[in-house]
Amino acid sequence: MAEIVVTFPDGSSAPVEAGVTVAEALRAHRPEAIEDGLAAKANGSLVDFSCPLEASASLSVVTFDDPEGAELYRHSTSHILAQAVKRLWPEARYTIGPPIEDGYYYDFDRDEPFTPEDLEAIEAEMLRIIGEDLAVSREVLAREEAIELFEQLGETYKVEILEEIEESTVTVYRQGEFVDLCRGPHVSSTGTIKAVKLLSVAGAYWRGFEGNKMLQRIYGTSFPATEALQAHLASLEEARKRDHRVLGRQLDLYSIQDAAGGGFIYWHPKGTVIRKVIERFWEDEHSRRGYELVTTPHIVRDRVFRASGHYDFYRDSMYVLNIDEDEYVVKPMNCPGHIMIYQTHLRSYRDLPIRYAEMGTVYRYERSGTLHGMLRVRGFTQDDAHIFCTPEQLNDEVLGVIDLAQFMLETFGYKDFELDLSVRDPAQPEKYAGGDAEWAMAEEALAKALAVKGLEANRQEGEAVFYGPKIDIKMLDALGRGWQGPTIQFDFNLPKRLNVTYVGHDGAHHHVVMVHRTVLGSMERFVGGLVEHYAGAFPLWLAPVQVRVMTITDAQQTYARELVSAFEAAGLRAEADLRNEKIGYKVREAQMEKIPYMAIVGNQEVTDRTVSVRTRGGRDIRGMGVERLTAVLQQEATSRTLTSLLQEAENGGGSD
């Protein structure tokens, strides 16, 4: 039999017989590597351990610690989930079961809804399947043969998928009595999976289309060790406690009115306070950095978006209406409006850069199944801005946007970020607007700005949109979760399509360099993220109510009202709780509402003209002068510090 050569990651190599499996080659020459391995990469392609090697190859092992390994591990677990459901309810039909971030799901067609008790039974059956350590094998079938197989099994959803596949052959994976249509790869046996947990069940339309049948989607997760699973479940529990949908109701920040339609946020008074504080800060900082604030209409003739090209691309996501025999669009983005303002005057290179900024509310159709609290909505307000500049100004403008984005996010308490630099696929330049020189200039400007700021970004080739490269910044919250925030996006399409120009040094008209950018994203998503980042306990400058004055008896009501007036005169958001309730009850209620400071007054405080302060973290400071308290809270609020200056003043450090 012919020999081939296997090369390992350390550069060493070894001869093996052609046709041996990946597992056999590894056991012969790298037995230690296969112990924790789930699959392998042969010449960079992910393959099963059972894959035969027919030609020389570079070989490496994939473990759970590799992104592909964790995905493969959980995909294999989803097959175990489907097998368990089929054992318990043979009449159920299985559809698709992909891995997702930190877990997996599988969709089932079953007449009866799955109950919490059913999930427990399924999980127990999954553990039995794992204990059976069933071999997982890959088979290549002709497409017609696979269709016949799944028709015999009564799995109509698999047949539907197969009928749309153009390839003449497909792969299936078997484990015991269970078989699934799948590209793979997978683990070698069910016993490879160790710790599993089913998390929830939800409805999901087949293939995501509302006109299709509603299926039942079971979510789960899995890990190679029980300790890792327990840590993950603890993290999920903490995330549930921080869920903005729960805290939004508890703190009375916002609501979604089903009678008025899903995906639209009704900002309550306290939520509106947070929003307005952010907007004022945003406006002041943009004005300070040379942006001009503009406001554009919500409804625009369709011809504007046809001219920009958005109509053809976004038509299915637009809300369209007819007025006076003309078609109008509820605007899905702000950029055409900013361009029209720019074009009201002839612009010279001396006028540039021009930076227009707007808190612009836009509307986009989202399927009802994708809506999610404040994070995925149909109407949202973007902190949008567009920069019109010359090529020579580009580097400084990008640096300015990055600096602004960092400043804004760090002010809100986000210290850690993940960045992506999305560039075009150099092998397919024909798919992108703009010439090679323009793309080289734009990509270099973005990369150079990141280098100057000392920021590392994941370079994503082929991930740029057709009209330009971009930087995406994800802010990591208190649980290490990424939230999409700032975006810096070049546009080679609109300046040419809409003839957005300036008069250059040479007296000729040149197309502007146009930069789209946001530094927060949408207000809805940003505030929802802040709720979860702080678990509703906002720093003082963002808190809807900054200090609540509480009376012990009715005798202190006059003094309490005086205190509220004094706090308000100092620019603080204050209110009084004058109810005839026990002070312990009032304090607990304020702590549930996550109010930063409680000013408690009894007869002694009235006599001494002082207050007893309690922080939401539970620290008590007795007999504090009102002027001193006011001064410290003013400083904490205006400096936008994330810590309690009052507590630091009392004990030399720390925060609530």
Which residues participate in catalysis according to the annotation?
335, 364, 382, 384, 386, 470, 516
Question: CB neighbours (10 Å) of residue 6?
Answer: 22
In 3-state terms, what secondary structure has residue 245? Answer: helix
- Cα–Cα distance, 512 to 54 (Å, whole number): 56
Give one DSSP letter per residue of 416-456, joined into a string: EEEEEEEE--TT-GGGSSS-HHHHHHHHHHHHHHHHHTT--
Burial 318-340 (b: 16+ CB within 10 A, else e): beeeeeeeeebbbbbbbbbbbbe
Residues in the chain, overall count: 656
**CA angle, residues 402, 407, 408, in degrees to nearest 5:** 100
**CA angle, residues 139, 145, 149, in degrees to nearest 5:** 85
In 3-state terms, what secondary structure has residue 55? Answer: coil
Give one DSSP letter per residue of 531-547, joined into a string: HHHTTT---TTT-SS-E
User: Alpha helices of 200-334 — where are they, by DSSP H?
Assistant: 226-241, 244-250, 269-288, 302-308, 310-314
Adjacency order of strands within the sheet including 3-7: 13-17, 3-7, 57-62, 39-42, 45-47
- Beta strands 610-615 and 620-625 are antiparallel
- Cα–Cα distance, 341 to 356 (Å, whole number): 9
Burial 83-98 (b: 16+ CB within 10 A, else e): bbbbbebeebbbbbbe
- Cα–Cα distance, 514 to 511 (Å, whole number): 9
**CA angle, residues 230, 192, 226, in degrees to nearest 5:** 15
CA 539 to chain centre: 23
- Cα–Cα distance, 602 to 616 (Å, whole number): 19
User: Integer distance in angstroms from the first to the last C-alpha of the chain?
Assistant: 72
The residues, any chain, with a CB within 8 Å of residue 339's CB and separated by 6 or more, are 308, 386, 494, 498, 500
The torsion defined by the Cα of 370, 371, 373 and 374, in degrees rounded to 10, comes to 100
- Cα–Cα distance, 76 to 329 (Å, whole number): 46
Q: Which residues pair with 386 in a beta bridge?
A: 356, 516
Give one DSSP letter per residue of 99-110, joined into a string: EETTEEEEEEE-
Give which of 56, 58, 63, 62 is closest to 11, Cα–Cα.
58
